[in-house]
Amino acid sequence: MNDINNRNPVLLIHGIIRTSSVFRKMNPYLRQRGWSIYTLDLKPNNATLGLDQMAAQVADYVNRTFAPNQPIDLVGLSMGGLVTRYYVQRLGGIDRVQRYITISSPHHGTWLAYLWNRRACLQMRPDSAFLKDLNRDSKMLGRLKFTSIWTPWDFIIVPAHSSQMPVGRNVKVPVVAHASMVINSQSLQVVASALSEPLKQIQRTYPEGHHQWQLTRDCQKLPPDGGKI
């Protein structure tokens, strides 16, 4: 595992109808292992706001809470995975986030989003304009240590393989039920492992003349199954 003194702060973002209390087991689990954990309650959390509007709440929180040069690691649960993806891909998070983890997120939509005609649910439907836009340039997530954790027995993300991505690492955990993904011991171990992945420094010079350290993937190859357990 990486040096405990060099760990980034970790921001946890919940899903629909949830609050940060959904991380009641993950939060202390990670704290006990040396991470500084931050949480944000998206308001309202009932899908009446668009995912892009909730992503703006994430961006505001990050800008208020962390110094401009402080990199962070990010974890998004379910709908929170799409909220954080919009933050990363559209609101500048790509330049702040180094390790990025989504858990049971409907990256390609879920049929259960047809149960409500609320704005965020419309955006989470398969083939929505919102998802097509995000997935059009999802390759940019390859600049981060990106991990998507999913289970074939989700029952909320339908079909379950909607949580898989063509970039980064997909980790399948044999967990029954969507809600168990943040309390199951195997899921927690995968999250801790993903937050521990080493980074490699590359110095980049920008036109303004200042320097920024870009941290990218090391050269270690992933196993053929994408790191499934």
Mean pLDDT score, 21-26 = 98
Instruction: Quickly state the pLDDT bin for 6 (edges 50, 70, 90).
Output: confident
The pairing of beta strand 97-103 with beta strand 72-77: parallel
Peptide bond into 159 cis (omega under 30): yes
pTM for this entry = 0.86
Q: How many CA atoms lie within 13 A of 106 on its CB side?
A: 28
Mean pLDDT score, 83-91 = 98
Burial class (CB in 10 A: 0-12, 13-18, 19+), 22: buried
Mean pLDDT score, 166-193 = 96
Structure tokens at 48: 């009446």
Q: Which domains does the chain have, with CATH numbers?
A: 4-198 (3.40.50.1820)
Mean pLDDT score, 183-203 = 88
- Cα dihedral: 203, 205, 206, 211 (round 10): 70
Q: What angle do CA 92, 67, 24 make, to 5 degrees?
A: 85
pLDDT tens string 104-119: 999 999 999 999 999 9
Structure tokens at 127: 């083939």
Query: What percentage of the chain carries pLDDT values higher than 70?
Result: 85
